[in-house]
Amino acid sequence: MTASEREKMIAGEWYCCLDAELDELRAAARRAVHEHNTLPPDERGSMAPALKGLFAAIGEDCFIEAPFHCSYGRNITLGARVYLNAGCTILDSAPVAIGNGSMLGPGVHIYCAEHHKDVALRRAGLEIARPVTIGHDVWIGGGATILAGVTVGDGAIVGAGAVVTRDVAVGATVAGNPARVIGRR
């Protein structure tokens, strides 16, 4: 039996993102994101109900500012006391775990998908997804981008505007494009 595109995506294999089942999952996420981004703040609270229901898991006292965007939502796990500032985007075609007490500044982007390097295969919608893990008590400065397959260790700091292409060690401070270590605690 041939695996579905969703099953291939979950397994970390090459899959076609131009798939009806994946389209419907993304449409459900867009509806939840729309609710979150358009509800008055007093009605939305820390997170719109539809968005809260979409995520894989959410710890206590999490807060997501509007606007926010995610591609599926169902692959996102937030620990306790996680804060996402306005304009954060998580393209969660693979699992994204954000640990307890971590804070993302405005406009932080997390990307799990990598499109194929071959033009014909990329045009056909072929991509592969790799998980992103953000440890506990991490601070990610505004406008930073975390790429597919990256793990950011506990207590690390990612400078504003950094492009993180490889793992960040526990307690390290990184900045730049590509991000490089500029300090340790």
The string of DSSP letters for 11-65 reads TTS-EES--HHHHHHHHHHHHHHHHHHHS-HHHHTTS-HHHHHHSSEE-TT-EEP
The string of DSSP letters for 128-162 reads EE--EEE-TT-EE-TT-EE-TT-EE-TT-EE-TT-
Cβ burial 124-147 (10 Å sphere, 16+ → b, else e):
eebbbbbbbbbbbbbbbbbbbbbb
Work out the number of other CB atoms within 10 angstroms of the CB of residue 64. 26
Q: Active-site residues: which are they?
A: 115
Q: Which residue has the tokens 């539809």?
A: 50
